[in-house]
Amino acid sequence: MNRLQVAVIDYGMGNLRSVANALKAVAPDLHIEITSDAQQIAAAERVVFPGQGAMPDCIRELDTRGLRQAVIDATRDKPFLGICIGLQMLFEHSEEGDVPGLAIYPGEVKRFPAEKMLDAHGGKLKVPHMGWSQVEQTGAHALWQDIPDLARFYYVHSYYVAPAESALTAATTAYPFDYTCAIAQDNVFAVQFHPEKSAESGLQLLRNFVNWKP
């Protein structure tokens, strides 16, 4: 069989099919598979770690399938893209369910605080944050190639990451305060928004990922 070029990690949480289909749309010649096999993940050239749902459920399902170490190993040695909960799980702790994350990076996952969720006119903003928001890039990165600064991406989330190290932040979004919506370090890039649901900008980010040589 052809070498697996992109593994989309399946731990039972998230809209994996739409992620895989978006990857296949931008890279039709690559061997892309949804997999829950730790050996396949280890052998893949690139890894995508998506997720939807509640953090405690995601951590539990990851451990139930024996995939915790496979994810940690993938963040160390190959191009790695985290999406939504796949970003949040990389941090030390989440307020959602008061659970520890994978602790690859220092920092917390926090709930949008009700007292701050006000628009410029004092009206209440909804939680979860759902819909299109602008992404402000903090600097150049291969995954931002051909994506204009302040491009809009699609979000669905009630919690956000607060990295302990500001250098991790690759982009921010305002809802209503600025928070980290993308991180980057070495071979890892992870985003709070859903590139697979974000029209051309999202597809461009996935295109950049499959061509990325960190």
**Tens of pLDDT along 20-73?**
999 999 999 999 999 999 999 999 999 999 988 899 999 999 999 999 999 999
Which entry of 58, 61, 181, 194 is annotated as an active-site residue? 194
Task: Please confirm, yes or no, whether 196 is among the known catalytic residues.
Answer: yes
Strand-pair partners of 157: 129
pLDDT at 2 (0 to 100): 67
Query: Residue 52: its pLDDT value, please?
Result: 87
The answer to whether 171 touches 68, Cβ cutoff 8 Å, is no
Q: What is the pLDDT of residue 88?
A: 98
Q: What is the pLDDT of residues 177-212, one digit of tens each?
A: 999 999 999 999 999 999 999 999 999 999 999 999
Beta strand 169-174 pairing with 136-137: antiparallel
User: What confidence tens digit (pLDDT) does each residue in 125-170 have?
Assistant: 999 999 999 999 999 999 999 999 999 999 999 999 999 999 999 9
Q: Based on the residue annotation, tell me whether 84 is a catalytic residue of this protein.
A: yes
Choosing from 58, 84, 96, 129, the catalytic residue is 84
Residue 157: active-site member: no
CA atoms within 13 A on the CB side of 130: 3
Which band of pLDDT confidence, cut at 50, 70 and 90, is reported for residue 175?
very high
Given 96, 129, 181, 196, the catalytic residue: 196
Token pair belonging to 2: 């052809």
Average pLDDT, the chain: 96
pTM attached to this predicted model: 0.97
Sorted by sequence, the CB contacts under 8 Å of residue 115 that are 6+ apart come out as: none
